[in-house]
Amino acid sequence: MKQLLYILSAVSLLCACKKDSARVFEESPEERMSARISELESGLLSAEHGWKASLTTTARGGYGLYLDFDAGQTVLMVGDMNEESATNASTSSFRIKWVMNATLIFDTYNYITLLQDPSPSSFGGASGSGLQSDVEFEYQRTSGDTMVLRGFKYKNEMILVKATAEEKSRFLGTAYKANIDAVNDFFTVNANNYITMDGITNKVEFVLDKSGKKASLQYVDNEGLVKQIAGKYNYEDVGINFAPGFTLNGITFVKGKLEDDIFVLYGSDGSRYEIKQNDLPILPMPTLFAYNGTYRELYIGGSLPSGVTSGFNAAYQASVSKFAAMNPTRTLVDLRFILSNSTTATVIARNNNGTTTYTANATFKYTYEDGVITLTEPSYDGNWTARRAQFIDIEEYIENGGPFRVDYVQSADPNVTNLGGLYRTEDNTSFFYGTLRK
């Protein structure tokens, strides 16, 4: 009898579980997949005048696009990647399929593909990974006129906002490129930009890194410490968009635009902040450049930043030429000067022989007083000494050139910003320099 009761109880429990499952999953997996795909497809096609899109990358900043999808699985687009993408609308194909989620796939080469192109010569990204962006985006959600997707590999969000007829006209006309030029021109002509904010005593510097597509706000607090927030930006048909926004002192900055020759930043609450200019840099570079500071690295990518004349250029180019003369030929991938900790500085150089990238390290002890760095006790690892003939010009410049005064570097190229340098204290025309990085 007990066995019968146990069996009846088990059957009753199993039936209850089946009933509960039926209540939770009212549709089959196939039906749910189909509905999700349909939601994405109908959503993309629902924008009568297309979409304003923002897309961030892992290796660099943000990029903006105008996208117009049609039922024939083609998409019309322009983007702020370069002059070509901003002025010439291109058409490519797309697909929607299930890949663990409803997924938008750009399956022919287009401006979005450019961001993930593994060839550095295409758009300046890293060999093999580009700017670490995606061409496959899984559908996340729709809220009002906004649709959010997320890249499969690098997880960066693509945010689509329905465009108006007027916005579409600007994107596909001359106004889009004109806006990009106007913003760039403003920050080329106007330096040492800042805003003032309630609750912050000192001026808040606004830095627009046009080459990296990043923006930051930074200031010195009442205790003498540097505070910084940073975000990524893209150009729109009017002004720039911060995607996502970044928050300082309770204000989330989401947009910026020119108004009567004044650049204005806007918070998500509609608050308005006019950018003004100071005669001198808002923050002296030594307050920013430190092993535990806002920046601790000077970075040179595949080539020197353009528009800068320095005695260091000859040493760098000599190293590039000596690597190129090897058999097989090699390239200098990048070069970094890093304040690794409070007493150790490291120079990291990578070179590639076409198949393999080798990392070489030079290490120094340093002191840092009154904005001057003095390097001592150099040591070099095996990869450096193996290629000493190729590194010798850079090695001798850094080892014998100091002490170095830390300061900003100005480029004659308006698109190159956010540079820092180590100036020889005995020769102000000669300095190691690169992009300031954390």
The domain spanning residue 148 has which CATH number?
2.40.128
Q: Is residue 2 part of a domain?
A: no
Q: Is residue 30 part of a domain?
A: no
Same structural domain for residues 101 and 188?
no
- The per-residue pLDDT of the chain, averaged, comes to 91
Q: How many CA atoms lie within 13 A of 284 on its CB side?
A: 9
Amino acid (1-letter code) at residue 358: Y
Cis-peptide, bond into residue 414, ω within 30° of zero = no
Q: Does 201 or 63 have the greater pLDDT score?
A: 63
> Stretch 239-252: mean pLDDT, rounded?
93
Q: What is the pLDDT of residues 336-357, one digit of tens each?
A: 999 999 999 999 999 999 899 9
Between 126-130, 147-151, 157-161, 338-342, the lowest mean confidence (pLDDT) is in 126-130
Which of the four pLDDT bands, split at 50, 70 and 90, describes residue 8? Answer: very low
Same structural domain for residues 75 and 115?
yes
Contact 393, 409 (CB under 8 A): no
Q: Which residue, among 137, 134, 81, has the nearest Cα to 104 in the 3D structure?
A: 137
Cis-peptide, bond into residue 286, ω within 30° of zero = no
Q: Among 173, 205, 231, where does a domain finish?
A: 173
Contact 204, 197 (CB under 8 A): yes
> Stretch 103-131: mean pLDDT, rounded?
90
> Stretch 47-65: mean pLDDT, rounded?
96
Same structural domain for residues 95 and 78?
yes
Same structural domain for residues 64 and 122?
yes
Q: Is residue 185 part of a domain?
A: yes
Same structural domain for residues 95 and 109?
yes
Host domain of residue 91 = 37-173
Q: Is residue 21 part of a domain?
A: no
Say how far apart CA 252 and CA 295 lie, in whole Å.
Answer: 23
Same structural domain for residues 295 and 400?
yes
- Flag whether pLDDT at 177 surpasses 80: yes
3-state secondary structure of 1: coil
Same structural domain for residues 273 and 307?
no
Q: Is residue 141 part of a domain?
A: yes
Q: Is residue 13 part of a domain?
A: no
Q: What pLDDT is attached to residue 83?
A: 95
Same structural domain for residues 60 and 151?
yes
Q: What pLDDT is attached to residue 247?
A: 95
Q: What pLDDT is attached to residue 18?
A: 45
Total domains present in the chain: 3
Q: Where are the beta strands (DSSP E) in 126-225?
A: 136-143, 146-151, 157-162, 193-195, 204-209, 214-220
Q: Is residue 16 part of a domain?
A: no
The structure's pTM equals 0.71
> Stretch 10-33: mean pLDDT, rounded?
58
Same structural domain for residues 190 and 227?
yes
Phi, psi (rounded to 5 degrees) for 357:
-105, 130
Same structural domain for residues 161 and 294?
no
Which of the four pLDDT bands, split at 50, 70 and 90, describes residue 211? Answer: confident
Contact 339, 361 (CB under 8 A): no
Q: Is residue 5 part of a domain?
A: no
- Flag whether pLDDT at 20 surpasses 90: no
Q: What pLDDT is attached to residue 275?
A: 97
Say how far apart CA 166 and CA 43 lie, in whole Å.
Answer: 21
Amino acid (1-letter code) at residue 238: V
Could you give the percent of the chain with pLDDT greater than 90?
Answer: 76
Q: Which residue, among 211, 207, 213, has the nearest Cα to 156 in the 3D structure?
A: 213
- Flag whether pLDDT at 23 surpasses 50: no
Rg (CA), the chain: 27
Same structural domain for residues 137 and 229?
no
Could you give the percent of the chain with pLDDT greater than 70?
Answer: 94
Amino acid (1-letter code) at residue 373: I
Which secondary structure element, helix H or strand E, spans residue 170, and what is its range?
helix 165-172
- Flag whether pLDDT at 19 surpasses 90: no
CATH code of 265's domain: 2.40.128.50
Q: What pLDDT is attached to residue 164?
A: 98
Q: Which residue, among 213, 236, 120, has the nearest Cα to 415 in the 3D structure?
A: 213
Helix axes 165-172, 175-189, angle to 10 degrees: 70
Q: Among 120, 146, 173, where does a domain finish?
A: 173
Same structural domain for residues 71 and 89?
yes
Q: What pLDDT is attached to residue 15?
A: 47
> Stretch 182-204: mean pLDDT, rounded?
93
Q: What pLDDT is attached to residue 416?
A: 85
Q: What pLDDT is attached to residue 252?
A: 96
Q: Among 173, 202, 223, where does a domain finish?
A: 173
Q: Which residue, among 240, 194, 234, 183, has the nearest Cα to 218 in the 3D structure?
A: 194
- Flag whether pLDDT at 115 surpasses 80: yes
- Flag whether pLDDT at 121 surpasses 90: no
- Flag whether pLDDT at 14 surpasses 70: no
Between 55-69, 212-226, 233-247, 382-396, the lowest mean confidence (pLDDT) is in 212-226
Say how far apart CA 158 and CA 326 lie, in whole Å.
Answer: 43
3-state secondary structure of 117: coil
Please count the residues of the chain. Answer: 438
Q: Where are the beta strands (DSSP E) in 169-250?
A: 193-195, 204-209, 214-220, 226-235, 240-248
Q: What is the pLDDT of residues 368-415, one digit of tens each?
A: 999 999 999 999 999 999 999 999 999 999 999 889 999 999 898 877
Which of the four pLDDT bands, split at 50, 70 and 90, describes residue 25? Answer: low
